[in-house]
Amino acid sequence: SFGPERAGEVPGGGGWCLSAPVRPPGRRAVVEVRLIPGLDWARLFRRHSPEGAVRAVEARRFQLSAKSDRMGLRLQGEAFTLPAGAGGDISRPVVPGTVQLPPDGQPIVLMAEGQTIGGYAQLGQVATIDLPLLAQARPGAQIVFRMTDVSAAQQARLRVAADIGRIRVGLGLLR
């Protein structure tokens, strides 16, 4: 039988559970996104230790500009200082999530309708799993980068995919 056996029981309950409660993200005062170091990382932070470079990025807090659009999210805050030779190279491929640094040092996160080739310095790549958080942020939202690596970003994506799979199974049991 797929129905409840006693009053108050959930039909099909006990056949599945989530590893942790899943709640919609809602509106956040501060949006933290994972950032994987980009092509120009070494040039941008050549005067920093690896730990100092991470601190230099994570200590900054940016505000999402009203001038943002589906091509790119413009961030305003403490500008990055671009050393000579950082950016302005021949054009290189870019994808949604690439964080570019134009000459003013204010980051631009490329989004769904962004270009496919760019010549600005590339600070890093926002982890794919965090792109929806940025896409849903409102102008004025505070954005903070948290450094990560490809492996950790992939693990985060797999955890979310597993939770979504369990939710789908659970919903199938409740039909």
Q: Which domain holds residue 34?
A: 30-148
> Is residue 77 in some structural domain?
yes
Distance (Å, whole) CA 133 – CA 125: 14
> Is residue 175 in some structural domain?
no
Higher-confidence residue: 24 or 47?
47
CA distances from 145 to 39, 75, 120, 171 (A): 17, 11, 19, 35
Share of the chain above pLDDT 70, in %: 79
Lowest mean pLDDT among 18-22, 74-78, 146-150, 163-167: 18-22
pLDDT score of 173 more than 60: no
Q: Give the pTM.
A: 0.80
**Residues 55-75: tens digit of each pLDDT:** 999 999 999 999 999 999 999
- pLDDT at site 85: 67
Q: What's 76's domain CATH number?
A: 2.40.100.10
> Is residue 94 in some structural domain?
yes
CB 82 within 8 A of CB 44: yes
What is the tally of structural domains in the chain? 1
> Is residue 60 in some structural domain?
yes
- pLDDT at site 39: 87
Measuring CA to CA, which residue among 22, 17, 19 is closest to residue 173? Answer: 17
